């Protein structure tokens, strides 16, 4: 089982719709969860972080975390063509030695918002 | 706004040649990461530094890759000899140290795109 799994997509939604991106993780000891956006040819940029169960909202973005189900999601409301990008889920947990933390990324989901 | 600096942005080399990438993290960020990202994949951690010490290099192909962060500030990633399969984007990122909230937030440089012919 991969540490962080995402559907690679592509996910295509019309402009103005809600885009729903999903991520599952294997390590129950994972502590922090992040969503990064990566435009084609660019480096990832952090858009959301979530640390406890429930929802966290920031503008048009809502991150949802369910630790019991080991599931993280990102909702984008009123999707815009400028939201077209790859969305990477990342999970932070202690490394095998327990002395440090590591951040593991999923493969990413390509989102296309059609005008 | 503080940024992670990387160079070169692009590098084309022939297989068996040596390649080096440089990274200067955000001032005050003790943790520095080198990731490799193959087209269509997520970033894969190659090496993680805490100050000048390596804390994770389990995925670094040590027969050809090396990384250092001598004074705990900037860092160099080297590949020698380069192979065709090394063609990828090499991303440097930095973060504050620790396990508390906010410390897992990585700030990435623009990346160094390597093409091996």
From the list B42, B98, B109, which residue is nearest A105 (CB)? Answer: B42
Count Cβ–Cβ pairs < 8 Å, chain A vs chain B. Answer: 66
Q: Which residues of A76-105 are buried (b: 16+ CB within 10 A; e: fewer)?
A: beebeeebbbbbbbbbbbeeeeeebbbbbb
- Within B1-117, strands assigned E span 5-7, 10-13, 19-24, 31-37, 44-50, 53-56, 65-68, 75-79, 88-95, 107-108, 112-116
DSSP assignment of A32-101 equals: EEEEEEE-TTS--EEEEEE-SSEEEEETTEEEEEETTTTEEEEEESS--GGG-EEEEEEEEEE-TTSSSE
Q: Which of B4, B26, B43 to mutate to test the interface with A (most CBs of A within 10 A)?
A: B43
Q: Which residues of B15-35 are buried (b: 16+ CB within 10 A; e: fewer)?
A: eeeebebebbbbeebbbbbbb
- How much of chain A, in percent, has pLDDT values that exceed 90? 77
pLDDT, tens digit, 9 for 90 and up, residues A3-54: 999 987 899 999 999 999 999 999 888 888 999 999 999 999 999 999 999 9
Q: Region B11-37: what's the mean pLDDT?
A: 95
pLDDT at B42 over 70: yes
pLDDT at B102 over 60: no
Q: Region B52-62: what's the mean pLDDT?
A: 91
Considering only CA atoms, give the Rg of chain A.
14
Which residues in chain B have their CB less than 8 angstroms from residue A51's CB? 101
Which residues in chain A have their CB less than 8 angstroms from residue B44's CB? 105
Q: How far apart are the C-alpha atoms of B92 and B5, rounded to whole Å?
A: 8
C-alpha neighbours within 13 Å on the C-beta side of residue B21: 30
Q: Which of A19-23, A50-54, A91-95, B29-33 has the highest mean pLDDT?
A: A19-23
Residue A29 confidence (pLDDT): 85
Q: Which of B89, B102, B106 to mutate to test the interface with A (most CBs of A within 10 A)?
A: B106
* Average predicted confidence (pLDDT) for chain B: 91
């Amino acid at each position: 089982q991969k540490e962080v799994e995402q559907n690679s997509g592509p996910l295509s939604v019309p402009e103005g719709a809600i885009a729903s991106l999903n991520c599952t993780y294997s390590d129950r000891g994972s502590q922090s969860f992040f969503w990064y956006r990566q435009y084609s040819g660019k480096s990832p940029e952090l858009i959301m972080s979530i640390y406890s169960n429930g929802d966290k909202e920031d503008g048009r973005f809502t991150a949802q975390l369910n630790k019991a189900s080991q599931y993280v999601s990102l909702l984008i409301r009123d999707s815009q063509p400028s939201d077209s990008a790859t969305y990477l889920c990342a999970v932070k947990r202690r490394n095998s030695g327990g002395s440090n933390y590591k951040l593991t990324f999923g493969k990413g989901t390509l989102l296309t918002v059609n005008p | 706004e503080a940024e992670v600096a990387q160079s070169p942005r692009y590098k084309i080399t022939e297989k068996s040649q040596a390649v080096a990438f440089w990274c200067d993290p955000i001032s005050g960020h003790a943790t520095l990461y080198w990731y490799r990202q193959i087209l269509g994949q997520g970033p894969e951690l190659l090496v993680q530094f805490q100050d000048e010490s390596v804390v994770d290099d389990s995925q670094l192909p040590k027969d050809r890759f090396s990384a250092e962060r001598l004074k705990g500030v900037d860092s160099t990633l080297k590949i020698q000899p380069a192979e065709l399969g090394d063609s990828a984007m090499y991303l440097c990122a930095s973060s504050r140290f620790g396990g508390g909230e906010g410390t897992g937030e990585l700030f990435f440089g623009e990346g160094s795109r390597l093409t091996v012919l």
